[in-house]
Structure 1
């Protein structure tokens, strides 16, 4: 009899387990899909439409640069006889940076002054004789111009700082021959200066992002080499002409740097995120919950009965993490995020709603 009871007890226990399992399975099918961390039995997750700030940013890599630079170049060619400028030295505007041998220039000046004196004497004789005064006057004018040029050549043997700043490069050597620039060409400068107290950011933005940029927009700047270094700036200018490198089109953008962090120097690399759109007190939802078909956008709303309803919505600003809903969805309504997107949006689901946008670049 004991042998007969043992199989019966095992069968009863198995049946009990099957009944409990079936009951749990049925309950999971009927329960509200948003009751447990926003997850449903069908593998979808939900977020709640809320009110907050939607922010859109565009990002690019940039470089720290001086906001004011200058190149000092000799106006007179010659052998370099003195170099006072040293890399890293701060100099005032007009400070002497270097010299070239002035011997030839001084000789030319002495000759020009002698010619001017002779021309003036000739003019005096012509005026006394009452003849040839026009030619003599022209000779005085030409001789005067020659003196002015010779004086400038002598002054050009001294290289002075065109602005206050720090010496960042010395492009010549003692005993070498100085290069002379023509016009506004400063490519052959002898000393390079930069104002290291006035910095800015230069960055190259993709052409699609550059269309959203304009002067006055705020930006966040994060340093790659400086730990926890972050500050804010403002777009100063967007280049009107694009640059194409290996088929990649970018636009140069200059961003102000009014409060650089300690250790900021020209040449350092940064990441720049410019705010191109911002809407406060907006009805918003995680962007992953919005489906697009042609020009139509829709969300799947979970009703009070736990059913799902596809509803067309109008989207205003599409932010970095969330989108503004201008019609079709109310604050507090729950919408479904498809399973394929939960890996990137799970951090929002557990809070029951999407974030307000943030400064993260696209």
Structure 2
């Protein structure tokens, strides 16, 4: 029998021992982490107690505050400013006069249009009372045989008024046109006075007395036009994240709202009426209560976000929700950025465990119940509300039981708790200086089983 050289024999023995050690370590690891019932609790694993609490599920978004009562108002009739009655910071009431422009041109136009209306009314009356020329009657004739008897008088025909349908239609159209012109001229006169459409605080005033302004009808003289604008001027309200503009801008925190963007998956969970909290980014300690008013069925257009980063970026699809602030809004300002949390599900006084303790998906949910002797038993449970940090347990557990929270292996330890291969190859691992299988010797490279390792 051929005897192997001493060096090759030592290498072969080391190889066999390495394989045996690895196999034993793997078996020990599997035994410790066996999911079957009756296994012992993992060393160092966290344990939680089944308790009763309120389980909340929320989704987050971001946006900015805006009030539907904010308004920017403009003159409907342009001209030279004769009065500016307010300045920034003033409190005004609805209907209060804010400013005036010179009404001279507007009044002159109104007088001309009223004269045209009077003429149109007279013309229509003439057409309605029109008549054709009367026909002449026949002269009397002598009696038969040239007698000298009395001759019967011939009656004079009564003229019958005749109305020309074409003339009537034309006169009626002229009257309608003249009336519309008068209505527009009266609105132009009213538009020389700017009134507050809502109560609020004056945020800005664009000009002062003596300046010239252009009305929303586009005519600096305000002589004609008008599109139904009231004497309070043309008012434009604000949308979330957009400040109103106008000759005078009014702000009012009453009815303050916030429009927030949510990721597509979160948006599907949001419904009108759900409770929410709003945290001001400028004042992290200020938390306001709110309620969802609506959720848009259309995605937010690229670049038209309400100011927050939402739950995603780039090409991620987001949907905007509008929420009404239910807390006191008297000190709030339009445009403040905020973070929003909407409560999408809630379970009060519910049995719960930390979310990390629950394994599986759908109906196949389990937890590791820790016994008094420290052993663990995998138990099926039914999950209700899946909260942010805890899950509601509706079946499978009782209050006071303990469950194990599995340890999550970090990316830097090879997937094993404590960073070492389970079963106990100690410090130094297999070989020193990067020992590995293979090599020219046909076995472990120099170093063999690392020194100082030992079994765990």
TM-score class normalised by the smaller sequence: 0.7 to 0.9
* Aligned CA distance change for structure 1 residues 341 and 155 (closer, same or farther; 3 Å): farther
Are 1:80 and 1:178, in contact at CA under 8 Å, matched by a contact in 2? Answer: no
* Aligned CA distance change for structure 1 residues 341 and 158 (closer, same or farther; 3 Å): farther
Instruction: Report how far residue 287 of structure 1 moved.
Output: 0.7
**Partners of 2:56 and 2:247 in 1: how far apart?**
48
| 1:223 paired to 2:291 | no
Instruction: Report how far residue 255 of structure 1 moved.
Output: 2.2
Question: Which position in structure 2 is the counterpart of 1:150?
Answer: 185
Instruction: Report how far residue 302 of structure 1 moved.
Output: 1.4
Pick aligned residue for 2:365 from 297, 301, 315? 297
Please give the secondary structure, in 1, of the residue aligned with 2:201.
strand
Computing the radius of gyration from Cα coordinates, the structure with the larger value is: 2
Are 1:169 and 1:193, in contact at CA under 8 Å, matched by a contact in 2? Answer: yes
| 1:162 paired to 2:230 | no
**Partners of 1:143 and 1:223 in 2: how far apart?**
56
Within 5 Å, give how 1:45-64 maps onto structure 2.
Answer: 45-64=46-65
Please give the secondary structure, in 1, of the residue aligned with 2:186.
helix
TM-score, normalised relative to structure 1: 0.72
Q: Deviations 1:256-312 (Å, cap 9, x if unpaired)?
A: 223226743222223222211111232211111112268632211212332122223
**Partners of 1:244 and 1:122 in 2: how far apart?**
57
Q: Write 1 or 2 for the structure with the bigger share of helix.
A: 1
Aligned-residue CA RMSD in angstroms? 3.1
Unaligned segments of structure 2, at least 5 residues: 1-40, 132-162, 218-226, 229-233, 237-243, 303-313, 411-456
**Partners of 2:177 and 2:330 in 1: how far apart?**
58
Where do 4+ consecutive residues of structure 1 move more than 6 Å? 182-185
Instruction: Report how far residue 336 of structure 1 moved.
Output: 1.0
**Partners of 2:245 and 2:82 in 1: how far apart?**
18
Unaligned segments of structure 1, at least 5 residues: 1-39, 343-362
Question: Which position in structure 1 is the counterpart of 2:107?
Answer: 106
Question: Which position in structure 2 is the counterpart of 1:203?
Answer: 260
Please give the secondary structure, in 2, of the residue aligned with 1:240.
strand
Question: Which position in structure 1 is the counterpart of 2:85?
Answer: 84
Q: 210-219 or 258-267, which moves further after superposition? A: 258-267
**Partners of 2:275 and 2:361 in 1: how far apart?**
33
**Partners of 1:271 and 1:70 in 2: how far apart?**
25
Pick aligned residue for 1:331 from 396, 399, 422? 399
Say how many residue pairs are matched: 303
**Partners of 2:62 and 2:245 in 1: how far apart?**
30
Q: Deviations 1:297-342 (Å, cap 9, x if unpaired)?
A: 2211212332122223222111111101222333222111122289
Please give the secondary structure, in 2, of the residue aligned with 1:301.
strand
**Partners of 2:80 and 2:330 in 1: how far apart?**
41
**Partners of 1:194 and 1:156 in 2: how far apart?**
22
Question: Which position in structure 1 is the counterpart of 2:375?
Answer: 307
Q: 48-57 or 218-227, which moves further after superposition? A: 218-227
Are 2:78 and 2:214, in contact at CA under 8 Å, matched by a contact in 1? Answer: yes
Within 5 Å, give how 1:165-180 maps onto structure 2.
Answer: 165-171=200-206, 175-180=211-216
**Partners of 1:276 and 1:103 in 2: how far apart?**
61
TM-score, normalised relative to structure 2: 0.59
Are 1:179 and 1:190, in contact at CA under 8 Å, matched by a contact in 2? Answer: no
Are 1:226 and 1:263, in contact at CA under 8 Å, matched by a contact in 2? Answer: no
Instruction: Report how far residue 50 of structure 1 moved.
Output: 1.9
